[in-house]
A = this chain, B = another copy of it.
Amino acid sequence: MSLTVFRKAHFNAAHRLFKKEWDDDKNFKVFGKCSNPNYHGHNYELEIGISGEIDPDTGFLIDLKVLAQIIKEEVEDPFDHKNLNIEVPEFKNTNPTVENIAIVIWNKMRARIDSKYDISVKLYETPRNFVIYNGN
């Protein structure tokens, strides 16, 4: 029997939407106030979904304590209270849109989670804007 378990987490970060090959005018034209050179920020709310078979011994799909620890190491510790553009290496050459942040998180989780499981990432940039990425 296959199902999906979800675990929520969150981090608070500053960012600026910005493509370094473009000048400030072009960046402002495309990204508007999100391209403010002094940065702005968000409370990112994250839901990681893990899909697979239940272990018949435990009734667990995956131990949520283990999953929570991996999320802490891969997402909360490196992203929380950080400036994504300056301090998170994955965004040195990648614009930290909510789409790209979700993809980075998915890739980091994929490297840590057993390949027998599928992974989904739901990431809220605000309570009104969010994305889902499943690695496809």
Contact = CB atoms under 8 A, between A and B. Distances in A.
Given A19-B58, A58-B95, A100-B59, A83 B39 contact: yes
Nearest to A35: B81
Given A38-B86, A80-B33, A83-B36, A10 B131 contact: no
A65 B128 CA distance: 12
Interface residues on A, range: 35 or more
A59 B93 CA distance: 11
Interface of A: 1-8, 10, 12-15, 17, 19, 30-34, 36, 38-43, 45, 49, 54, 57-61, 64-65, 80-83, 86-87, 94-100, 102-103, 126-134, 136
A127 B46 CA distance: 13
B131 A12 contact: no
Contacts of A36: 81-83, 87
A37 to B, nearest CB: 9
A6 B129 contact: yes
8 contacts: A5-B99, A8-B128, A14-B41, A36-B87, A38-B82, A39-B41, A59-B95, A60-B99
A80 B33 CA distance: 9
Contact of A126 (B4, B12, B49, B65): B12
Nearest to A44: B43
